[in-house]
Amino acid sequence: MANNQLFKSLMGRLLPKADAINEAGGTAYQFSATHALAQYAATGCLNGTYYASAETQLEKVLGLCAQVEPLMLAKIAVYCREYGYMKDMPALLLASLSLNGSEYLSAAFPRVVDNGKMLRNFVQILRSGAVGRKSLGTRPKKLVQNWLNTASEQALLSAAVGNAPSLADVVKMVHPKPEESWREAFFAWLIGKPYNEAQLPPATRAFEQYKRTGQSENGELPAVPFQMLTSLALTTEDWAQIARQGSWQMVRMNLNTFARHGVFELPGIAKEIAAKLCDRNNIARAKVFPYQLMTAYQAANQSIPLVIREALQDALEIALENVPAINGKVVVCPDVSGSMHSSITGYRQGATSVTRCVDVAGLIAATYLRKQRDTLVLPFEFSVVGADRVGLNPRDTVLTNAAKLAAACGGGTDCSAPLKWLNDKNIQADLVLLVSDNESWMNVNRYGDKATETMRQWDRFKQRNPQAKLVCLDMQPYATSQAQERDDILNIGGFSDVVFKMITAFAHGQMQSEHWIGEINKVTLSQ
Same domain membership, residue 357 and residue 284: no
User: What is the per-residue pLDDT for 23?
Assistant: 80
Element (H, E) at 94: helix 88-97
CA angle 269, 275, 276 (to 5 degrees): 90
Long-range contacts, stretch 489-495, CB < 8 angstroms, 24+ apart:
489/458, 490/515, 490/516, 491/31, 491/35, 491/39, 491/515, 491/516, 492/42, 492/516, 493/38, 493/39, 493/40, 493/42, 493/43, 494/42, 494/43, 494/84, 495/43, 495/291, 495/344, 495/360, 495/364
Burial class from Cβ neighbours inside 10 Å (0-12, 13-18, 19+) for residue 9 reads exposed
Please tell me what DSSP assigns to residue 32.
P
How far is 500 from 341, CA to CA, in rounded Å? 23
Strands 431-436 and 469-474: parallel
Which residues, other chains included, contact 49 with Cβ-Cβ below 8 Å and sequence gap of 6+?
Answer: 57, 342, 346, 347, 437, 476, 477
What distance in Å separates the CA atoms of residue 465 and residue 506, rounded to the nearest whole number? 16
- Looking at the fold, whether 193 and 295 belong to one and the same domain comes out as no
Half-sphere exposure of 259 (CA within 13 A, CB side): 15
Along the chain (527 residues), what's the average pLDDT of each consecutive run of 10 residues? 47 75 86 91 69 77 94 96 89 94 94 96 94 90 97 97 94 96 97 96 94 76 90 91 93 95 96 96 86 88 93 92 90 91 70 78 90 92 82 87 86 92 96 88 57 94 96 85 92 83 92 84 86
**Structural domain contains residue 351:** yes
Instruction: Please report whether residue 372 resides in a domain.
Output: yes
Q: What span, in angstroms and rounded, lies between the C-alpha atoms of 291 and 320?
A: 11
Q: Tell me, what's the pLDDT at 442?
A: 65
Based on the fold, state whether residues 157 and 215 are members of the same structural domain: yes
For residue 131, CA distances in Å to 61, 138, 176, 380 come to 10, 16, 24, 39
Residues 173 and 129 placed together within one structural domain of the fold: yes
pTM of the model: 0.87
Are 477 and 484 within 8 A, CB to CB?
A: no
CB distance 448 to 471 below 8 Å: no
The pLDDT value given to residue 347? 62
Give pLDDT, residue 477: 72
Q: Let me know whether 202 and 241 are in one domain.
A: no
Residue that terminates a domain, selected from 293, 322, 351: 322
Domain boundary among 173, 198, 224: 224
Domain boundary among 322, 344, 365: 322
Q: How many domains, in total, are found in the chain?
A: 3
Cα torsion 179, 184, 186, 187: sign = positive
Question: Can you give the pLDDT at residue 5?
Answer: 47
Q: Considering only CA atoms, which of 323, 328, 409, 315 is closest in space to residue 362? A: 409
Beta bridge partners of 347: 48
252: containing domain? 232-322
Q: How much is the pLDDT for 440? A: 75
pLDDT of residue 447: 42
Residues 141 and 68 in one domain: yes
Q: Are residues 311 and 264 in the same domain?
A: yes
Are 317 and 335 found together in one domain?
A: no
Position 395 scores a pLDDT of: 84
Which residues, in sequence order, are CB contacts of 218 under 8 Å at separation 6+?
Answer: none
Q: Report the alpha-carbon distance of residue 101 to residue 272 in Å, rounded.
A: 50
For residue 355, the model assigns a pLDDT of 82
- The answer to whether residue 396 is domain-embedded is yes
| Residue closest to 434 by CA, chosen among 379, 388, 476 | 379
Q: Looking at the domain assignment, is residue 195 inside a domain?
A: yes
Same domain, residue pair 401 and 257: no
Task: Determine how many CB atoms are found less than 10 A away from the CB of residue 454.
Answer: 32
Asked if 422 and 454 touch (Cβ cutoff 8 Å), the reply is no
